[in-house]
Amino acid sequence: MKWLFELDGGARVETVLMAYRDRTTVCVSTQAGCAMACGFCATGQGGFQRHLSVGEIVEQVVRAARRARDDGRRLANVVFMGMGEPLANYDRVWPAVERVHHDLGLSARHLTLSTVGVVPGIRRLSTEDLPVNLAVSLHAANDRLRDELVPINARYPLIMLLGACADYLRAKGRRLSFEWALIDGTNDRLDDARQLADLARSLPLPAHVNLIPLNRTPGYPTRGTPPEGVQRFRHWLDGLGVNATVRRNRGGDIDAACGQLAARVELRAPSTSDVADAATAPAR
């Protein structure tokens, strides 16, 4: 289920509630838009609008928890992986994490912060008390391709990023995952799997890899890896000794990938009913 919330000042952000057989997870936004400009991402294509406040971040969790409760479920996991780069809004995101933990009672092991590679943020995170999970959106395992897909890599190249990840793991002992959006013919070849496996195994605790077939976005011509290519890539990683999970592509009918719904509503000169429709879109 996806909400599209309109904030003070008119910016819109998305929140996604995902009900699985054994758990309920909410994915929250931390910024309206995003300045990181990853070309394949609908949020990045729309540019940056503003940081969310602590309250705006926490309220997404509160509303999702209420909705889950109304459905007879208990919200157990929060992933800070929605619109925006959480570590670029550190001063508001971390107090929000603390409130979700202390005031709403969710365990730190069920809170996951994602980053596309903001190294100073990862280093700061290493000094905090709560040992949250870290999900690094890697998408490429060599600097040439990563510079292309994830522009922040030019400032914090892989050697710096991997160094910060290793230090985080040593400091916290928490699980770290690499997120990998599979893009057809771009980062889904055997060489890519080998390079990714080298990086995943180079850490003090090997990284778990989450494979996500890319959702198509209006501003990026390439398509996601087809299902057989996804399985082949997972199989290669398996053979290279790396644990990988294929994330199901869910909610295509409600523009569930980050930034898609907000982009669609922006493009169509929105009416109030668009926002209401989005808020009541059926769970998948």
Note if 14 is an active site residue. yes
C-alpha–C-alpha distance, residues 36 and 145, integer Å: 16
Distance between CA atoms of 195 and 192, rounded to whole angstroms?
Answer: 5
Give the DSSP per-residue string, 178-236: EEEEEBTTTS-SHHHHHHHHHHHHHSSSPPEEEEEEPPPBTTB-PPBPPHHHHHHHHHH
Task: Assess 258 for contact with ligand SF4 (CB under 6 A).
Answer: yes
Q: Contact with ligand SF4 (CB under 6 A): which of 15, 30, 43, 77?
A: 43
Q: To the nearest whole angstrom, how small is the minimum distance from the Cβ of residue 46 to ligand SF4?
A: 9
Q: Is 128 an active-site residue? A: no
Is 140 a binding residue for ligand SF4 by CB under 6 A? The answer is no
- 133 near ligand SF4 (CB under 6 A): no
- Minimum Å gap between C-beta 36 and ligand SF4 is 4
- Tokens encoding 53: 């406040």
Task: Give me the catalytic one of 6, 14, 56, 59.
Answer: 14
Q: Cα(86)–Cα(254) distance, rounded to whole angstroms?
A: 23
Range 62-121, binding ligand SF4 (CB under 6 A): 83-85, 116
Nearer to ligand SF4, 68 or 78 (CB): 78
Q: Can residue 200 be called a binding residue for ligand SF4 (CB under 6 A)? A: no
- Name the token pair of 60: 């997404």
Rule CB under 6 A: is residue 255 a binding residue for ligand SF4? no
Binder of ligand SF4 out of 1, 16, 17, 36 (CB under 6 A):
36
Residue keyed to tokens 């001063």: 91
57 binds ligand SF4 (CB under 6 A): no
Burial of 271 (0-12, 13-18, 19+ CB in 10 A): exposed
The encoded tokens of residue 7 equal 């904030």
Q: Give the active site residues.
A: 14, 258
Residues that bind ligand SF4 (CB under 6 A): 34, 36-38, 41, 43-44, 83-85, 116, 258
